[in-house]
Structure 1
């Protein structure tokens, strides 16, 4: 099989590591107090839901123990 000797058409991809931009991104906007409160409430709601589901689900995950009282049939008791 022969190999091509022509240049790669996407050579700029290899040069992307060395590229430096002289354009600075705009500064990030500061959150308003209402936005901070809303994000905090959403986070607290999610955490409370996870903790609540864990607390309510733990008894279902516990292995159940069979009651140790033996139930005898009436025919066995009548002897």
Structure 2
């Protein structure tokens, strides 16, 4: 293996972790009323979709006790 000819300034490497820039970022723009309304409408649409899918999906996930009960009563009446 070959060695590097130039040395690494370790003080620079140590200072790199705590370097602070003297340039401040530009201030954030304030959100307008229309942007807030749009974001809230999108959020409400997503929540309404999740709630609607949960409401429509719960009957499919419930055990079918009523169906098996009606089949048993029909079999008892058929005898």
Q: TM-score range by the shorter chain?
A: 0.5 to 0.7
CA offset digits 1:2-51 (Å, max 9, x no partner): 6x65357xxx8876422211111111101111111111111101111101
Relative to total residues, which structure has the larger helix share, 1 or 2?
Answer: 2
TM-score normalised by structure 1 residue count: 0.67
Number of aligned residues: 69
Match of 1:32 in 2: 32
- 3-state SS of the aligned residue for 1:71? helix
Name the stretch that deviates more: 22-31 or 63-72: 63-72
The whole-number CA distance in structure 1 between the counterparts of 2:45 and 2:63 is: 30
| 1:71 corresponding residue in structure 2 | 75
CA distance 1:45–1:16, shift in 2 (3 Å)? farther
Matches of 2:63 and 2:44, distance apart in 1: 31
Distance 1:16 1:51, change over 3 A: farther
Q: Which runs of 5+ in 2 are unaligned?
A: none
